[in-house]
Amino acid sequence: MSLLRNILLRREAGIAVMIVLFCLAVGMVKPQFLTLGSLRIVLLLVPLIMIGAMGQMLVIVARHVDLSIGSMLGLTAMASGMMFRHYPEIWWPLGFALSIGVGALLGLFNGLLVTMFRLPAIIVTLGTLSLYRGITFIMSNAKQIDRQYVPSALKSMSQTSPIFGIPWIIFIAFGVALLTYWFAMHTRVGRQVYALGSNPVAAPLRGINVTRVTLLVFAISGALSGLAGILYASRWGFVNPSNTGNGFEFQVIAAVVIGGVSINGGVGSVAGTVLGVLLLGCVSAALRLLGIPGTTQSAIYGAVILVALLIDRLVRMQGQKPATAGARA
Amino acid sequence: MTDTAAAPPLARDAAPPRPMWHVVLVRPETMTLVLLVLGVIVGSQLSEFFLDINYILKSFTLSAEFAIVALVLTMVIIAGEIDLSPASNMALSACLFAWAQQAGVPMPLAIVIGLVSGVAMGALNGLMVIGLQLPSIIVTIGTLTLYRGLAQVIAGDKSIRVPEWFTGINAVFIAGIPVPVLVFALLSIVLGLVLGTTMFGRQIYLIGTNEVAARHAGVRSRRIRMILFLLMGFASAVAGLMTASRLGSVRYDLGLGGELQMVLMAMLGGTYIFGGRGTILGTFLAAWLLVIVTTGMIVANWLPAWQLCVLGILLIVSIIATNFIYSRTQR
Amino acid sequence: MLKKSLLIGLTAGMVFATGAFAQDPLKIVYIGKNTGNPYFDSITGGFEDACKSLGCEFEFVAPATAEATSQIPFIEAQIQRGVNVIGIAPNSPDALNAVLDSARAAGILVLTVNGDLTGNESHRDATILPTNFDIVGRDQVEMVGSLIGYEGEIAILSATTEAPDQNKWIVGMNETLASDPKYAKMKLVATVYGDDQPEKSTTEMEALLSNFPDLKGVIAPTTVGIAAAAQVVQSRGIAATVHVTGLGLPSEMRDFVKDGTVTAFQLWSPYNEGWLAVHFAVGVLDGSIKNEVGTTFEVPDLGTITINPNNSINTQASLTTFDASNIDDFSF
């Protein structure tokens, strides 16, 4: 048992080591990469992906996948944006409630399609990806929410806070990670998600209400996409019906996979996912700092994903049989 | 599959064999056909300019490259794998080809370079999936990013021109049908026969239904799947060259988003995402369905917003229907 | 009596006859780069109003994404619909060659509005440009120079690396900096690309500030870039040390000008481009304007317009500067 633990611990440690080595390597070429200012840039690149990754992790652990998170982010951001535009005097934190609520509903719709009709989540969410994006265009009449309509209090959440000047948005992102950890490790429902993912056939026999747990993970994924939506408006200061959230799902899935979550369900840790997100953030920031043209950045991204997969496979082959049942911290 | 004679009345516990008309008609391809006919009717109502066979054929050429690859992708999915990298493969093969011929390499060699690189990319996918036993969905998400990125490295943000005589394959007509459409139709027939009648095709279904059982039954699962990945690579390269010919130039963003369209065609055609079920006929009809629906909306000047909604709903409805049909025809 | 009724009948007959020869209203379509882009809403406004006043039918369509080939199916559809004029803001300089040729073969007048098919001008009938692109680079350098006292480090935040108009202006900026002694004390330290995406533009701006702590001025000749850069400056409160300018939409920049983040920026009137395009197209199709280099014609509200070499038409002679004194005068 403790040997298995060591393997998995090695996995997260492996990613952490990769991050450290990478940063040191870049730091040798460009010392300003190792400054606090640079750390701030990295941390500001990741909050949205971190939040999305938490939701996606739960969905993938439950042996599904959610490709519609980008469109959900766009729709929820647009909903709040339109509210701000029509009611400029409104108490701005209501935007959080609206976005998260709408996101949860959208996620619930995904979950309903998957559970009621027993449809493969990958196809359902491929469909809702288009559907939600279309709805976003329709409700906004294809017009973006200009910067002046986004409350400045909301925008400043991404710039600073009373605590060492670290933007609120970073606290929120890590807070969500902590919440997810607590949910996954220390609640009964959280453990049921893992059980469901590792053996969906046996789950009902173990007293797990498969429908309810599935609906829950999709609703959570939607709600977190909603949170990411309102924070998008905070970070970038505007909402655009075609760009907002576009491609988000790929970035999130890449981070989750690098973080060691198995596509077959049942395996995955919050720590690994967080490290996966951070690794991608470091790579992103480094590429920008090194002045590597945007044209090469995608190639490097793809290579990073493949390398991470390779390392994972080699590590697994070195150790015992790949761990499939249960999950560790 | 089943005979039409009624089961002996004593065999109470055996389900009665399905009548022949049931077998022929109640299948996902029928649903695709019905949707196709519906699409044509609705399209003609939406716009008076729709029902013009030349226009529809011309519109099909815009998606023909994707449709050709989707045929091979169907076989890959039936075998229980998936490949999301073909569109990036198309771009990289086309970029290598264009860059080579621009650098002075003689045309035939440049074409070979393009084709070989496509196969090589397919081989990389295959090696990682079969050799390292990594899940194909993640590997091909990685390679889709990698290949697209490499195409960007080679071509930068510029377009590379191809010679005059190479362009315009979509404007070449044989018997009134554009060449790309003809290629698609012929390939459908060939692959349909391979999948439906040969041993190779049967084995693909077996692998997709239960890979472990198939392997133990002596099916050379690794080899067959590798062949499929190589075939995907080759088909993508050909599609990439055809697109280069149609556009007259090559950019790194050639076919951007194409993987989604290909998967859409396979799904709308009744292919089961987890493998084991699907037909070439289904994908063939689904390609036409997709073209009819999108063309109908575009020529009626519908906003992209509505087009996205319709496509999303179409996919969800078709997957519900496919699942329903499959569950009713479980044997 | 008979003569009178004959006369009336004859007149009526002539009226009917001319009525029978009257044209169906011209059908004009404008294909934008993509939907959800506020810049094209302005141009569309110009198209719509001009069509209303001249009696033609107008539609605006655009693909969901601004990829190079995304407009092709739309152009094919418009050919199928039998429109008379296609105005388009091309997403690619050459991917549309074949399809535009078939449009022209079908008798459709093809105008590129707001941007041109660099290197492939033969595939369109004329282009309506916002202003004289040759002097944009020079004027933008002058603009930023006046804000920073003609001394210090500056950077350029552009759109995509291949956008032909961007590259033309950047070349102009570099030439101006190199050749004119007035700007000898200004140094261009970096040219970065935000890809016309707000997120990338924002992070590129943040990277500029972090890489070049002595940066004094930023030229962002893209409405997306300048808004993103101004946002960063506003959020960090560094408007006194870093001056952002470039090409921006008054509607997006208004708040930044009012609170002092941005002192001044420039642009043209996208609305006028649409207005001009319609008048030009109608004139060409009914024969009153000859589509030849050197021709001049009148357009209501815009004055005399000349057709320049390569059938290129400038909507206005040079850039308009927007600052606190006139920012409220504009509704786009």
pLDDT (tens digit per residue) in B237-284: 999 999 998 888 888 888 887 888 898 899 888 898 888 888 999 999
Cβ distance of C80 and B256 shorter than 8 Å? no
The CATH number given to whatever domain includes residue C176 is 3.40.50.2300
Interface of C with B in 33-92 (CB under 8 A): 35, 59, 61-65, 67-69, 72-74, 76-77, 80-82, 92
Interface of A with C in 216-245 (CB under 8 A): 236-238, 240-243
Task: State whether C137 and C249 are in the same domain.
Answer: yes
Residue bearing the bigger pLDDT, B270 or A294: B270
In a domain, B163, yes or no: yes
pLDDT of residue C11: 47
Task: State whether C148 and C254 are in the same domain.
Answer: yes
Residue A144 in this model has a pLDDT that exceeds 70: yes
Q: pLDDT tens digits, residue range A239-260?
A: 888 778 877 887 888 888 888 8
Residue C280 CA to residue A187 CA, distance in Å, equals 70
The count of domains in chain B is: 1
Task: State whether C234 and C186 are in the same domain.
Answer: yes
In a domain, C112, yes or no: yes
pLDDT of residue A327: 39
Crossing angle for the helix pair A121-140 and B258-268, nearest 10 degrees? 120
Q: CB neighbours of B210 closer than 8 A, spacing ≥ 6?
A: B276
Please classify residue A89 by burial: count the beta carbons closer than 10 Å to its beta carbon, then call 0-12 exposed, 13-18 middle and 19+ buried. exposed
Q: pLDDT tens digits, residue range B138-180?
A: 888 889 888 988 888 888 777 788 887 778 777 788 887 888 9
In a domain, C90, yes or no: yes
Mean pLDDT, residues A134-162: 81
Residue C242 C-alpha, separation from nearest chain B C-alpha, in angstroms? 30
> Which whole-number Å values give the CA distances from C66 to B309, B311, C89, in the listed order?
19, 19, 10
Residue B120 CA to residue B57 CA, distance in Å, equals 33
In a domain, C31, yes or no: yes
Which of B137, B306, B323 lies at the smallest CB-CB distance from A134?
Answer: B306
Q: Residues A102, A105, A106, A107: is their CA dihedral positive or negative?
A: positive
Select from C254, C199, C250, C190 the least CA-distant residue to C217.
Answer: C190
Task: State whether C139 and C30 are in the same domain.
Answer: no
Q: pLDDT tens digits, residue range B285-301?
A: 999 999 999 899 888 88
Residue C220 in this model has a pLDDT that exceeds 90: yes
R_g of chain A, CA atoms, integer Å: 20
pLDDT of residue B155: 84
pLDDT of residue A321: 46
In a domain, B184, yes or no: yes
For chain A, say whether B99 makes contact (Cβ under 8 Å).
no
Residue A16 in this model has a pLDDT that exceeds 50: yes
Q: Residues B8, B13, B18, B19: is their CA dihedral positive or negative?
A: positive
In a domain, C327, yes or no: no
For chain A, say whether C323 makes contact (Cβ under 8 Å).
no
Residue A32 in this model has a pLDDT that exceeds 90: no
Q: pLDDT tens digits, residue range B10-59?
A: 656 777 777 777 777 777 888 889 889 998 998 888 888 888 888 888 88
Q: Which two tokens stand for residue C91?
A: 């997403």
Cβ distance of B312 and A119 shorter than 8 Å? no
Q: How confident is the model at residue C259 (pLDDT cuts 50, 70, 90)?
A: confident
pTM for the model stands at 0.82
Task: State whether C257 and C277 are in the same domain.
Answer: no
Q: How confident is the model at residue A3 (pLDDT cuts 50, 70, 90)?
A: low
Residue C23 in this model has a pLDDT that exceeds 90: no
Averaged pLDDT score across all residues of chain B: 87
The count of domains in chain C is: 2
Cβ distance of B312 and A302 shorter than 8 Å? no
Mean pLDDT, residues B181-202: 93
What was the ipTM of the complex prediction?
0.80
Residue bearing the bigger pLDDT, B257 or B65: B65
Identify the CATH number of the domain defined by range A2-318: 1.10.3470
In a domain, B316, yes or no: yes
For chain C, say whether A85 makes contact (Cβ under 8 Å).
no
For chain B, say whether C308 makes contact (Cβ under 8 Å).
no
Residue A149 C-alpha, separation from nearest chain C C-alpha, in angstroms? 10
Averaged pLDDT score across all residues of chain C: 83
pLDDT of residue A300: 76
Q: pLDDT tens digits, residue range A74-83?
A: 999 999 999 9
Pairing of strands B249-250, B160-161: antiparallel
Crossing angle for the helix pair B258-268 and B86-102, nearest 10 degrees? 140
Mutation site, B145, B273, B303, B326, interface A, largest A CB count within 10 A: B145
pLDDT of residue C86: 93
Q: Residues B102, B105, B108, B113: is their CA dihedral positive or negative?
A: negative
pLDDT of residue B229: 96
Longest dimension (CA), chain C: 95
Residue C15 in this model has a pLDDT that exceeds 60: no
Mean pLDDT, residues A137-157: 82
Task: State whether C82 and C168 are in the same domain.
Answer: no
Domain positions in chain A: 2-318
Mean pLDDT, residues C215-219: 92
pLDDT of residue A54: 95
Residues from chain B contacting residue A118 (CB–CB below 8 Å): 323, 327
The CATH number given to whatever domain includes residue B307 is 1.10.3470
Which of C95, C98, C161 lies at the smallest CB-CB distance from B157?
Answer: C161
Domain, as residue range, for C304: 25-124+270-316
Residue C21 in this model has a pLDDT that exceeds 50: no
Task: State whether C229 and C217 are in the same domain.
Answer: yes
Residues from chain C contacting residue B242 (CB–CB below 8 Å): none
In a domain, C326, yes or no: no
Which of C63, C64, C73 lies at the smallest CB-CB distance from B59?
Answer: C73
Mean pLDDT, residues A309-318: 71
Q: pLDDT tens digits, residue range C163-183?
A: 777 888 899 999 998 888 888
pLDDT of residue B123: 95
In a domain, C225, yes or no: yes
Q: pLDDT tens digits, residue range A59-107?
A: 999 999 999 999 999 999 999 999 988 888 888 888 899 999 999 999 9
Domain, as residue range, for B86: 53-325
Q: pLDDT tens digits, residue range A204-239?
A: 888 888 999 999 999 999 999 999 999 998 888 888
Select from A224, A222, A195, A225 the least CA-distant residue to A208.
Answer: A195
pLDDT of residue C20: 41
